[in-house]
Chain A
Amino acid sequence: MHPFTLDRPRDLAAALALRAQAGRNDAPAEYIAGGTDMVQLLQEYVRQPERLVSLAGLLDNRIEIGPQGLRLGVAATMAEVAADPAVVEQFPLISEALLNSASPQVRNQATMGGNLLQRTRCPYFRDVGYAACNKRAPGSGCAAIGGENRWHAVLGTSDDCIATNPSDLAVALVALDAAVEIRGAGGSRSLPLVDFHRLPAATPHIETVLEPGEVIAAITVPASSAARRSHYLKVRDRASFEFAVVSAAVALEMDGARIRQARIALGGVGTKPWRVPRVEAALAGASLEPQSLRQAAALAAENAHGRGHNDFKIELMQRAIVRAVEIAGARA
């Protein structure tokens, strides 16, 4: 690891004053929570911050459910949230997405905040033996374009970066219209999660809207009946302990045998957790007939752009939507 100073501030205010910033490789200071991603990045020299600011003990870890919905303190671990009885009952999509992520050991250690801010699995980003990676070293080029890109995104890409956002949790949360509470030295703000991650465009090294010193403090998810009738579908090369090749988070409000409203987000295919409003619109009022599901799912492929090895994802993500809607629709 590159030598760094580890700060363990006494309270959150002291931490925020240190102006650490997640999701940017050029930030001189960065937070560390559970460390499950951060330590890997440090060990592989992908991140070389001068200063690490520990969030341990500074942020809320409570899981609260009320009539308004769910509020997750970001310090809650993946394991705690996945196993919380109220989450399992009222927001099964979140629990399923978490249980399909990583391994029990990682989930015991990893936090909600760290999960939303984990860095891409793009192998070129994570191997400093490659000089070219705009996300790691702005302006250096993109080794994935023209390289091995089976792992990469087909939606929201740019000519500067085609890396996926790897979080399963974020896909489920985006489908459920979750918001994040951001806290900085100057106060708090709340933002829909779907607007939290940025598209790579010409600045893939800036991944979120966080400003220096800001942290995510909480995640809120509005109550809805759709949250119960949901399914998280994850396609991967092996049965467990792997990031998604393609995933689909689906939550449905039904009107008898017809879909009143569908909320759908995709993982493994987008440069950020990817909501598909056009598919949702086409499904409003539709039946669960394969034909109509298939037609609606095809709209997800609009503007999708493969780079060779990942072309198959364009077809696979449509099939994943169909399957996940079928499974969610069949739920009581």
Chain B
Amino acid sequence: MTTALIGQPISRVDGRRKVTGAATYVAEFQAPGLVHGAIVRSTVANGRIASIDSSAAQQAPGVIAVLTHQNAPKLAYRAHKGAPDPGIGERLHVLQADRVSHQGQPVALVIAEGLEQAVHAAMLVRVTYAPEAAITDIARAEPVPLTPPSETRRGDPDGALAAAEVKLGQTYVIPRENHNPIEMHATIASWDGDSLTLWDKTQWVHNVADEIAAVFGIPARNVRVISPFVGGAFGSALRTWPHVTLAALGARVAGRPVKIMLSRREMYYGTGFRPHTVQRVALGASRDGRLGAILHNGDQETSTYEEFTEALLNATGFLHSCPNVNTRHRLAPMNVHTPTYMRGPGEASGIFAIESAMDELAVALNIDPVELRLRNEPEQDEFRQLPFSSRSTRECYQAAAERFGWSRRNSEPRSMRDGRQLIGWGMATATYGAGRAPASAMARLLPDGTAEVASAASDMGPGTWTSMTQVAAETLGLPIERVRFTLGDTRLPRAPVHGGSITMASVGSAVQAACRKAREDALARGGGTNDVTEAMRRIGQPVEASVDSTPGDESQRFSMHAFGAVFVEVAVDPDLGETRVRRIVGAYGAGRIVNPKLARSQCVGGMIGGIGMALMEHSVVDGRNGRVSNANFAEYAVPVHADAPPVMDVIFVEEHDPHVNPLGVKGVGEIAMVGVAPAITNAIFHATGKRIRELPVTPDKLL
């Protein structure tokens, strides 16, 4: 009999291992003869390496090799692009030429017996540069269209804006932000002849294998990648970064396994970041609050060698009903390394602009912000002209508003106080795409009534280990403790990238299908019993099923997204400018919730991430030379416990989506981050009467 496990608030199956230290993270793996790599990084943003003197480093104690562009083996760098790689441009090649295109670019690699020996020898490498003029400040960069240009238009946006009864136009700025997971990126590389084993912090083991195979010109089957635990990533481990190549390169030259672990400072140069965006939004509306025109332009930083783009403006096309819409997305190529996806990529930034502008419109019209959104609730995706597979915005507004007590809100700014503090209430809408990608899974029932289930997925924190075990156990009809799910190894069936909130939809569907098949096979061969444990006892040998699960054409027929609403209460000290978030209520229509406990944790994490985005996170780039001046955990502020509000309420509204995927799930990882920042800045406006359009809202902006 099947036991209902999907939908249960089951605790993490790997929780005990994590809190007792038994979970092995990448940098903790041991390989016989392991030696260490340290990277020398450029200190100019553009130019050529004029000279490298590594003689002192060569002679330093413990040093095995010093690799530079002058002596490093030439690498194949065959074409390869995985899903997280920008479609246009060519990835950074390491130690292949004298060209430097950004600060912190690897210019040498030292391999030494001990970590300290490697780090010290790296400091002894003397590099001089022939610097060239660099563009490191988006204000001085020249934005250009994407390849191909990304401009959308429906109706007559300019005409409608000109004719609108009420209009506004503002610029919204989000600075560069870094992911800052607690675990630094690390790789261990070990060669055996032409075969390579990599232990790597990654959200996608198969893509690491494909990328490194392409870089070294070897078959992907020769590369095994192991990554069982990921200590947070938020997108930083989607791509295969240059240090992975360097570890493999170092190991090949040294003839020994090599470990490279980035320092916190290196994380700001060696992995990606959420790009600095400058967005311009103009809205036109009738006096009764119907949107007549939306014009939304976004410029975003990227590197000189790749066009990184995210779905910055996509939601603008379908979030609110509007007949006349224009979006235009451009890129500002700069002397920086390539940005990458960071939690809620695209939407988190784009919706900050749109939902701030909507709040400004609500103020201009003197209409309640929720009411304004309800008046512009679309019946279908007006951009793609498709029905939504499901859309529960109304339910979200209602559930969250009720829990929050929104009806008691006085719309007047500065109308609420608590002692000296100004209190403000604000809200915003959230959305994120519900995607699905092909995935494979294997389920093996054993005669002892246990099962092994596997897919090469990843768990950067949301709880893949647990939720897949739940899906597997329920589908197999076994108690959860009899099912062992494994992930994070290229020897397991291929899974898609663990990002974009697609893991449950993709891997979960594959796990479900594999388990269903294994169970059916077992029951068919089990001599008439309907009890899978009994059937397996009778069969007496393993029953295995492998399934490749692929999405159908549903994404062509439906517009598929999760939606939500975020309500926030802030307290602002009017004299000192400090803002603290006191309450957040988020309601989400995210399809079926496989594990409400994990999903709630995801959403709470997203809310806290949103507090960081709104109030403190900012990679401060020195415009003179492109170095990140606060590339450390003291001056780059992320929220700490004291910043997490005492009340964080998460509501999942009932939503049955028969179209989106077999499990009916949409994922909550990304949407949890979306809408939080504008809800906070809207609340700050309500508290203070000050509209802050440039994040983060630090005390100086409110004086």
Given contacts A121-B634, A239-B642, A240-B643, 18 further A-B contacts (CB under 8 A): A1-B116, A44-B265, A121-B635, A123-B635, A127-B265, A129-B103, A130-B43, A147-B629, A148-B620, A148-B629, A236-B578, A236-B699, A237-B637, A238-B642, A240-B640, A242-B634, A316-B699, A323-B576
Q: How far is the CA of A147 from the CA of B626 in the complex (A)?
A: 11
Does B444 make an interface contact (CB < 8 A)? no
Query: CA A327 – CA B113 in complex, angstroms?
Result: 58
Does A274 touch B at the CB level, under 8 Å? no
Query: Which residue of chain A is the closest to B43 with respect to CB atoms?
Result: A129
Q: Is the CB of B576 within 8 A of A319?
A: yes
Taking A146-B624, A316-B576 as contacts, is the C-beta distance between A237 and B629 under 8 angstroms? Answer: no
Assess whether B640 is in contact with A238, with CB atoms less than 8 Å apart: yes
Q: Are B632 and A238 in contact (CB under 8 A)?
A: no
Give the shortest distance, in Å, between B703 (CB) and chain A (any CB): 6
* Cβ-based interface call for B630 (8 A): yes
Q: A3 in the interface, Cβ–Cβ < 8 Å?
A: yes
Task: Say yes or no: A237 contacts B43, CB within 8 Å.
Answer: no
Task: Name the residue in B615, B635, B639, B640 with the highest tally of chain A Cβ atoms < 10 Å from its Cβ.
Answer: B635
Residues of B within 8 A of A312 (CB): 699-700, 703
B contact residues around A1 at 8 Å (CB): 116, 119-120
Indicate if B616 sits at the interface (CB-CB under 8 A): yes
Chain B, Cβ-Cβ closest to A239: B642
| CB-defined contacts of A130 to chain B, threshold 8 Å | 43, 627
Complex-state Cα separation, A241 to B637, whole angstroms:
9
Q: Which residues of A contact B632 (CB under 8 A)?
A: 123, 126
Contacting residues of chain A (125-144) with chain B, CB-CB under 8 angstroms = 126-127, 129-131, 143
Measured CB to CB, the closest approach of chain B to A180, in angstroms, equals 26
Restricting to A1-55, which residues have a CB under 8 Å from any CB of B? 1-3, 44-45
B142 at interface by CB-CB < 8 Å: no
- A interface, by DSSP: helix, strand, loop or mixed? loop
**B 634-693 contacts with A by CB, 8 A:** 634-635, 637-643
Tell me the nearest residue of chain A to B635, going by C-beta: A123
Q: Counting CB contacts under 8 A, is B631 at the interface?
A: yes
- Determine if A242 and B637 form an interchain contact, defined as CB atoms under 8 angstroms apart: yes
- Measured between alpha carbons, how far is A131 from B624 in the docked complex, in Å? 13
Contact A316 to B630, CB < 8 A, known contacts A147-B624, A148-B622, A238-B615: no
Complexed CA–CA distance, A124 and B116 (Å): 23
Q: Does B575 contact A (CB under 8 A)?
A: yes
Interface residues, chain B, CB within 8 Å of chain A?
41, 43, 103, 116, 119-120, 123, 265, 575-578, 580, 615-616, 620, 622, 624, 627, 629-632, 634-635, 637-643, 696, 698-700, 703
Which of B629, B638, B703 is in CB contact (< 8 Å) with A316? Answer: B703
Cross-interface CB contact of A150 among B575, B615, B631, B700, cutoff 8 Å = B700
CA distance A1 to B622 in the complex (A): 26
Other-chain contact of A2, B41, B120, B265, B637 (Cβ < 8 Å): B120
B117 → chain A closest CB, angstroms: 9
Of all A-B residue pairs in the complex, the 5 with the closest CB atoms, nearest first, are: A239-B642, A240-B642, A312-B700, A148-B629, A123-B629
User: Once the chains are docked, how many angstroms separate the CA of A315 from the CA of B639?
Assistant: 26
With a cutoff of 8 Å between Cβ atoms, the chain A residues found around residue B578 in the complex are: 235-236
Does B116 contact A243, Cβ atoms closer than 8 Å? no
Interface flags for A305-332 (1: CB within 8 Å of B; 0: not) read 0000000100110011011000000000
- Cα–Cα distance between A126 and B633 once the two chains are bound (Å): 12
Determine whether the beta carbon of B698 is less than 8 Å from that of A237. Answer: yes
Residue on B nearest A235 in the bound complex, by CB: B576
CB atoms of B643 and A239 under 8 A apart: yes
Q: Which residues of B contact A3 (CB under 8 A)?
A: 120
Is A151 close to B, CB under 8 A? yes
- List, in ascending order, chain A residues with CB within 8 A of B699's CB: 235-237, 245, 312, 316
Which of A44, A127, A143, A322 has the most chain B CB atoms inside 10 A of its CB? A127
How far does the alpha carbon of A147 sit from the alpha carbon of B700 in the complex, in Å?
Answer: 18
CB distance B640 to A239 under 8 Å? Answer: yes
Measured between beta carbons, the chain A residues less than 8 angstroms from B639 are 238
The reply to whether A127 and B631 contact each other, CB–CB distance below 8 Å, is yes
A123 with B630, Cβ < 8 A, contacts A151-B635, A238-B615, A319-B576 known: yes
Partner among A146, A237, A319 whose Cβ is within 8 Å of the Cβ of B615: A237
Residue of A whose beta carbon sits closest to that of B579: A237
CB-CB under 8 A from A126, the residues of chain B are 632
Nearest Cβ distance between residue A141 and chain B, in whole angstroms? 12
Bound Cα distance A131, B629 (Å): 13
Please name all residues of chain B whose beta carbon is closer than 8 Å to the beta carbon of A323 when the two chains form the complex.
575-576
The distance from the CB of B511 to the nearest CB of chain A, in whole angstroms, is 40
Q: Are A127 and B637 in contact (CB under 8 A)?
A: no
12 CB contacts below 8 A, A to B, read: A1-B116, A129-B41, A147-B624, A235-B577, A237-B616, A237-B637, A237-B698, A242-B637, A312-B700, A312-B703, A316-B577, A316-B699
Bound-complex Cα distance A127 to B635 (A): 12
Assembly CA distance A50 to B41 (angstroms) = 25
Chain A residues with CB under 8 Å of B637's CB are 237-238, 242
Smallest CB gap from A131: residue in B? B43
Which residues A286-308 have CB closer than 8 A to chain B?
none
Determine the chain B residues whose CB is within 8 A of the CB of A148 once the complex forms: 620, 622, 629-630
By a CB distance below 8 angstroms, the chain A residues around B631 are 123, 127
Residue of A nearest to B103 (CB): A129
Contacts of B641 in A (CB 8 A): 240
- B41, B123, B622, B637 pick with most chain A CB within 10 angstroms: B622
A45 neighbours in B (Cβ, 8 Å): 123
| Complex contacts, B642 vs chain A, CB 8 Å | 238-241
Considering the complex, give the chain A residue whose CB is closest to the CB of B42.
Answer: A129
Question: Which B residues are CB-close (under 8 A) to A131?
Answer: 43
Cα–Cα distance between A123 and B107 once the two chains are bound (Å): 23
CB distance from A96 to the nearest CB of B (A): 15
> Shortest beta-carbon distance, A153 to chain B, in Å?
15
Q: How far, in whole Å, are A205 and B703 apart by their CA atoms in the complex?
A: 34
With the chains together, A2 CA to B41 CA distance in Å? 18
Cβ B643 vs Cβ A238 within 8 A: yes
CB of A319 within 8 A of CB of B616, answer no
- Complex Cα distance A319/B573, Å? 11
- Complex: A240 Cα to B640 Cα, angstroms: 7
Chain A positions within 8 Å of B575 at CB level: 319, 322-323
Distance (whole angstroms) from the CB of B96 to the closest CB of chain A: 23
Nearest A residue to B576 by beta-carbon distance? A235
Whole-angstrom distance between the alpha carbons of A238 and B700 in the complex? 13
Task: Note all chain A residues with C-beta closer than 8 A to B627.
Answer: 127, 129-130
Q: Which residues of B are found within 8 Å of A44, using beta-carbon distances? A: 265
Of residues 83 through 142 on chain A, the ones whose CB sits less than 8 Å from some CB of chain B are: 121, 123-124, 126-127, 129-131
Note all chain B residues with C-beta closer than 8 A to A316. Answer: 576-577, 699-700, 703
Chain B residues, Cβ within 8 Å of A151: 635
* Smallest beta-carbon distance A37→chain B, Å: 11
**Distance to closest chain A CB from B264 (angstroms):** 10
Q: From residue A136, how far is it (CB to closest CB) to chain B in Å?
A: 14
Tell me, rounded to whole Å, the shortest Cβ–Cβ distance linking A306 to chain B: 11
Measured in the bound complex, the distance between the Cα atoms of B641 and A241 in whole Å is: 10
| Closest beta carbon of chain A to B110's beta carbon, Å | 14
* Docked CA distance A245–B577 (Å): 11
Complex Cα–Cα for A2 and B637 (A): 29
